[in-house]
Amino acid sequence: MAAPSMGGVSLPRGHGQVVRLPRGASLTDLAEKIGAQPAALVTALFHLGEMVTATQSVNDETLQLLGAEIEWNIQVVSPEDEDRELLETFDLTFGDEGDAEDWVARPPVVTVMGHVDHGKTKLLDAIRNSNVVAREAGGITQHIGAYQVVTELEDDERPITFIDTPGHESFTAMRARGAKVTDIVVLVVAADDGVMPQTVEALNHAQAAEVPIVVAVNKIDKEGANPAKIRQQLTEYGLVAEEYGGDTMFVDVSATTRQGLDELLTAILLTADAELDLRANAEQDPQGVVIEGKLDKGRGPVATVLVQRGTLRQGDSIVAGDAYGRVRSLLDEHGNKLKEALPARPVQVVGLTSVPRAGDTFLVVEEDRVARQIADRRQARIRNAQNASMRKRISLEDLDAALKENRQLNLIIKGDNSGTVEALEEALMKIEVSDDISLRVIHRGVGGITKSDIDLALADDVIVLGFNVRAEGQATELANREGVDVRYYSVIYQAIEEIEAALKGMLKPEYEEVALGSAEVREVFRVPRIGNVAGSIVRSGVITRNSKARLVRDGVVVADNLTVESLRRFKDDVTEVRDGYECGIGLGSFNDIKTEDVIETFEMREKPRA
Ligand code: GDP
C-alpha cells in the first residue's frame, strides 16, 4: 500500500512501531525520529484540529492523538526516565553502588507531619534547641531546611536527621519528583484536639510511601489533653499502639515543656532499627537530594542538600538539578565549616552557579565539564517541558484569528528565590485579557538580571521582571542602550497589575461607526468615462470626499463599503458639502443609483477602552 496522504503530503505509517520522545518535544523532533517531513506532521495535526508550528513544544495528549492517527506508538518519556538516560550517557547512575555488605549504617531521616496547629513547627524547634551537641557546638542554630541531632541509645551516640520543613507539601513534592528522602514520619497529633483531616492525610501519604510512622501525641501539658483517646482514634486507621499489642510507637510529648522529647528520639531509633536496615555506601561518588535552595546576598547560590550516599567534600564537582559548580564550602546548621558530609548529613553547599530546586537530586562527578554538560541538558529539558505545558491550545475555530493576530507578550522573570519566581509566574499565567493575546515566560531563574538575560530579551519583544533583584552592572547598560523594558517589583500584585495593563495595551483597537452625513438622490446623471453620478441634496451632517458610504433604498442597504470618490458643486470639485446644499456624488465604479436612494456617509473611529 502506498503511503497515505494527508493534505497532499505523504507520511510514513508506523504500523504500531514504538517511538520514544521526551516530554515537550516538537513535531520537528518527532519528524526526525520517524523520517517524516515536519510540515507533513503539522498538516496532519491541523486536520485533527490542532494548530501548532513545527518547532513548538507539543503536549503529551496531542502527541498521542497524532500518534494514533499515523499509527506510531508514541511513548512520552517521563522526566525521571529521561534523566536516567541522560546520566547513563555519562556512565552515571543515581543509587547505591557495590555490595550491600560493604555499606555502612546511616542515621534515619525524619519528616514531621500532622494537622495544622498541632505543633509541628514548635516540636521541630524544641528538638533542635534541646540538643546537647548543638549547644556544645556553640553556634546559633539556623534554619537551613534540615538538621541533625544526636541522642544516646544503649551507650551509643546516634544521630537523627530531621527535615526542618513541617507539612505535607515538602514530603509529597519531593516524592512527586522521585526523591525518596524520608525514612520515618513523625505524626504529630494534639492531645487536646484529636485526629483531624490533615492527620489522616499525612497518615495516608506515609502509608502510601510505605514509610513507618511514630506518633507524637503533643500538647500533653494542656488541660483536657487525652492521649488515650488519640491512641483509640488511630486504631481505626491501622495504627495500633505497642501497649495495645500493635507495632506503632506512640510517645506523649509537649513541645512547650519539652517533656518526652528524649523518648520520642528513642522511639524513632527503635522503629528504624526494628523496621528498616538503613545503610549506604559511604565510599562511592556522593549523591543526594536538594532540600532547599536560596540566593544569599553575600555568598551567592546556597543549597541545603541531604547526602544520601558517598561522602561529600569541599572541592567536589557537583551537579544539582540544572545547577552546577565546585563545592567551595560545606556548612552545617550551626554555621560550622565541615570538611566532609557523610550519608544522611544535611549540609549547606556554597559554590553553585545557580539555585537548584527542592527535590532536585545532586551528583558529584569527575570533572567540572561533565557537571556543566548535565546541567545544560537538564536546563534545556526543563525549558521544553515548561513551554509544552504553557502553550495555549489553539482550536480550529480560532485559527483564522490566530494566524492573523497571534499576539504574544514574552516575559523573563528573575527573583530572589525559586518560590517567589514560581508564585509570580503562576499568578501571571492566570491573567486573561483576551483570547488572541497570550503571555509566555521564556525564561525564569533565581538571581540578579544578567547580561545574558538582556541578550535573550533582545531577540524578541520581551519584558524583563526583577522581583527583589536588580540588573547587574553591564546588564543595566545594555538594557538602557537597547531599550529593553526592565521592571522591578517587590510586591506580586503590583507586577500583576502592570503586566495586565501591558497586555491590555496590546489589544487590537476596537472601532465604532460614526455617522457623518446623508444625502438624498434627486437625479442620476450619466457622465462619460466616469459612470453614474448622483445629483443629490444633503439632508443631514456633511458629505465629505473620500469618506465611506453606503446606499440605502426604501430603508434597505443596497450597497455597503462604498467611497465618495468624487464630490462636486456645480462644476467645482469640493471636499465637503453641508446639509441643505445640492451636490454631485460619484461612488466610483458603483453605478446602481436611482432617484430617492439615500447615500449615508460614515467613518470608523477607534473606541476608547474602558
Ligand atoms: P503547626 O501548625 O503544626 O506547625 O503548629 P505550631 O508549631 O505552629 O503550633 C501551633 C500552636 O500550638 C502554637 O501556638 C504553639 O505555641 C502551640 N503548641 C505547640 N506545641 C504545644 C505544646 O506541646 N503545648 C502547648 N500548650 N502548646 C503547644
Where do the domains of the chain lie? 2-77, 107-278, 282-384, 405-506, 510-607
CA 126 to ligand 1: nearest atom: 20
Q: How far is 590 from 579, CA to CA, in rounded Å?
A: 23
Into which CATH architecture does domain 107-278 fall?
Answer: 3-Layer(aba) Sandwich (3.40)
Q: How far is the CA of 187 from the centre of ligand 1 (A)?
A: 14
Residues in binding site for GTP:
114-121, 164-168, 218-221
Question: Closest Cα to atom 16, ligand 1: which residue?
Answer: 122
Question: Closest Cα to atom 17, ligand 1: which residue?
Answer: 119
Q: How far is 438 from 56, CA to CA, in rounded Å?
A: 15
Sign of CA dihedral 494, 499, 501, 502: positive
CA 124 to ligand 1: nearest atom: 7
Q: How far is the CA of 123 from the centre of ligand 1 (A)?
A: 8
Is residue 466 a contact partner of residue 479, using CB atoms and an 8 Å limit? Answer: no
Given a cut of 70, is residue 168 above it in pLDDT? Answer: no
pLDDT, tens digit, 9 for 90 and up, residues 506-530: 666 667 788 899 999 999 998 887 7
pLDDT, tens digit, 9 for 90 and up, residues 257-280: 999 999 999 999 999 999 998 999
CA 115 to ligand 1: nearest atom: 3
CA 116 to ligand 1: nearest atom: 2
CA 118 to ligand 1: nearest atom: 3
Helix H or strand E segment including 132:
helix 132-137
Q: What are the backbone angles phi and psi of residue 57, rounded to the nearest 5°?
A: -70, 140
Mutate-to-test residue for ligand 1 from 112, 115, 117, highest number of ligand atoms within 8 A of CB: 117
Q: How far is the CA of 117 from the centre of ligand 1 (A)?
A: 6
pTM of the model: 0.62
DSSP code per residue over 313-337: ETT-EEEETTEEEEEEEEE-TTS-E
Question: Closest Cα to atom 22, ligand 1: which residue?
Answer: 219
Q: Are strands 109-114 and 156-163 parallel, antiparallel or unpaired?
A: parallel
Q: How far is 161 from 272, CA to CA, in rounded Å?
A: 12
Given a cut of 70, is residue 291 above it in pLDDT? Answer: yes
Phi-psi region of 17 (alpha: psi -120 to 50; beta: other; left: phi over 0): beta
Q: Is 236 exposed, middle or buried (0-12, 13-18, 19+ CB in 10 A)?
A: exposed
Split at pLDDT 50, 70, 90, the class of 389 is very low
What mean pLDDT, rounded, does the chain reach?
84
Given a cut of 60, is residue 584 above it in pLDDT? Answer: yes
Of residues 149, 69, 61, 58, the one with CA closest to residue 109: 149
Given a cut of 70, is residue 310 above it in pLDDT? Answer: yes
331-to-81, 142, 266, 398, 453 alpha-carbon distances in Å: 32, 11, 27, 56, 31
Split at pLDDT 50, 70, 90, the class of 578 is very high
Class of 510-607 per CATH?
Answer: mainly beta
pLDDT for the residue 17: 87
Q: Are strands 146-153 and 156-163 parallel, antiparallel or unpaired?
A: antiparallel
pLDDT, tens digit, 9 for 90 and up, residues 541-556: 999 999 999 999 988 8
Q: How far is the CA of 215 from the centre of ligand 1 (A)?
A: 16
Q: How far is the CA of 125 from the centre of ligand 1 (A)?
A: 11
Mutate-to-test residue for ligand 1 from 121, 122, 221, highest number of ligand atoms within 8 A of CB: 122
Is residue 211 a contact partner of residue 271, using CB atoms and an 8 Å limit? Answer: no
- Say yes or no: do domains 405-506 and 510-607 share a fold: no
pLDDT (average), residues 567-585: 92
Sign of CA dihedral 225, 227, 228, 230: positive
How many degrees, rounded to 5, is the angle at CA 150 between CA 231 and CA 275?
Answer: 45
Residues in binding site:
114-121, 164-168, 218-221
Q: How far is the CA of 120 from the centre of ligand 1 (A)?
A: 7
Please list every protein residue whose CB sits less than 6 Å from any atom of ligand 1. Answer: 114, 116-122, 166, 218-219, 221-222, 254-256
3-state secondary structure of 493: helix
Given a cut of 50, is residue 358 above it in pLDDT? Answer: yes
Q: How far is the CA of 164 from the centre of ligand 1 (A)?
A: 15
- The CATH number of 405-506 is 3.40.50.10050
3-state secondary structure of 402: helix
Q: How far is 305 from 292, CA to CA, in rounded Å?
A: 7
Residue 4 DSSP label: P
pLDDT, tens digit, 9 for 90 and up, residues 115-135: 989 999 999 999 988 765 555
Class of 282-384 per CATH?
Answer: mainly beta
3-state secondary structure of 282: coil
3-state secondary structure of 13: coil
Task: Tell the residue number behind the cell numbers 510505605, with chain if given.
Answer: 210
